Amino acid sequence: MVYNTPTSVVTIDRFIIEQERLHPEATGELSGILYDMALAAKIIAAKVRRAGLVDIIGATEMANVQGEIQQKLDVFANETIIKAMDHGGRLCAMASEEEPDIIQIPEHFRCGKYVLCFDPLDGSSNIDVNVPVGTIFSVVRKITRGKHGEMEDILQPGRRQVAAGYVIYGSSTMLVYTTGQGVHGFTLDPTIGEFLLSHPDIRIPDPGRYLSVNDAYEQYWDEGTRSLMRRYRGLEGERRAMSVRYVGSLVADFHRNLLGGGVFAYPSNKKAPRGKLRLLYEANPLAFIVEQAGGAATDGKCRILDISPDELHQRTPLFIGSKSDVDLVSQTLRGVSTLVGA
């Protein structure tokens, strides 16, 4: 089916409003959060695109502008999202991977009924070598009674998310999101500055082709994890060997596996018993998306979306991707000693 022609396009705004109309009770507040997120993504994309030029242009700018210091991109992305989201009257609080505490809505703005958690620029250590980076976000409803958002509003299990998405800043910029009615992808057309529907109703292929894992940690894995990886590689059991692809930028690895099929694994290891990735900013939103696309996500023992967070920056082991590939995790780790939760 052709969605976009030279004279008729499905922009993200049009798509969001058409989805909203399916719910006559909707107030439009969630749609507003998605519009604001799309705007922030465009601003960040423009900055990321110029990242390689910073050294060249920075020198010239220093001579002309009054001593302005070049901001780090992840700090810029963090501030851009906060400023795009704090004044709309839709959020009562935010939490960012870049900030130690809850971000409150300034007093002069209205507080709303939603909470936003986000990782402003994941994989930012890859920027210098021109590898894709991403933004990840998650929205839940406020559950406390007061005007302002509290820690309890933020620390909710992922199954309560009402929206989640990511933006990948790669060879093109894409925004992929779900509100629980499938997963839809939009590609930024830089000539008109709009996200256009390019990947409606994404379904993750199953079984998957790709295995994404950093096996430099193999020496620190337990025997269950080693056995699992041997199975994915076709060295143990009956499975066909998967191809290994690891960018080291979660959004890039996840996006490839979502479209091509596969599993991304960041298991616990002796040095990092709870893995590396953050539950609220990385695992939960991607788990909501993957489940909506027909896939699955687990920490090795428990469905990611059922974990009740205890703290803002909690880490979790993560196995995420095509359902049958992720199901192999519990089958293999069951009964074998693991470090999960150690």
Residues in contact with ligand AFP by the rule CB under 6 A: 122-126, 214, 248-250, 276
Least Å distance between CB 265 and ligand AFP? Answer: 10
**CA 207 to chain CA mean position, Å:** 22
Least Å distance between CB 214 and ligand AFP? Answer: 3
User: Does 157 sit behind a cis peptide bond, omega within 30 degrees of 0 on the bond before it?
Assistant: no
User: What distance separates the 2 farthest-apart alpha carbons in the chain?
Assistant: 65
Asked if residue 91 lies in contact with residue 149, where contact means CB atoms within 8 angstroms, the answer is: yes
Q: Is 22 exposed, middle or buried (0-12, 13-18, 19+ CB in 10 A)?
A: exposed
Least Å distance between CB 208 and ligand AFP? Answer: 17
196: phi then psi, degrees, rounded to nearest 5: -110, 140
Least Å distance between CB 250 and ligand AFP? Answer: 3
Helix 250-260 to helix 284-292 angle, to the nearest 10 degrees? 10
The residue among 179 and 212 lying less far from ligand AFP, judged by its C-beta, is 212
Least Å distance between CB 136 and ligand AFP? Answer: 9
Q: In what order do the strands lie in the sheet with 296-298?
A: 243-244, 210-212, 262-266, 318-321, 296-298
The residue among 77 and 293 lying less far from ligand AFP, judged by its C-beta, is 77
The residue among 54 and 151 lying less far from ligand AFP, judged by its C-beta, is 54
The residue among 31 and 124 lying less far from ligand AFP, judged by its C-beta, is 124
Least Å distance between CB 64 and ligand AFP? Answer: 32
The residue among 97 and 291 lying less far from ligand AFP, judged by its C-beta, is 97
Least Å distance between CB 97 and ligand AFP? Answer: 9
The residue among 249 and 298 lying less far from ligand AFP, judged by its C-beta, is 249
52: phi then psi, degrees, rounded to nearest 5: -65, -20
Tokens, residue 173 = 């910029």
Of 74, 75, 118, 121, the residue nearest 93 (C-alpha): 118
Least Å distance between CB 51 and ligand AFP? Answer: 14
Least Å distance between CB 264 and ligand AFP? Answer: 8
CB atoms within 10 A of CB 58: 13
Task: Determine the residue type at 317.
Answer: P
The residue among 4 and 314 lying less far from ligand AFP, judged by its C-beta, is 314
The residue among 133 and 183 lying less far from ligand AFP, judged by its C-beta, is 133
The residue among 116 and 127 lying less far from ligand AFP, judged by its C-beta, is 127
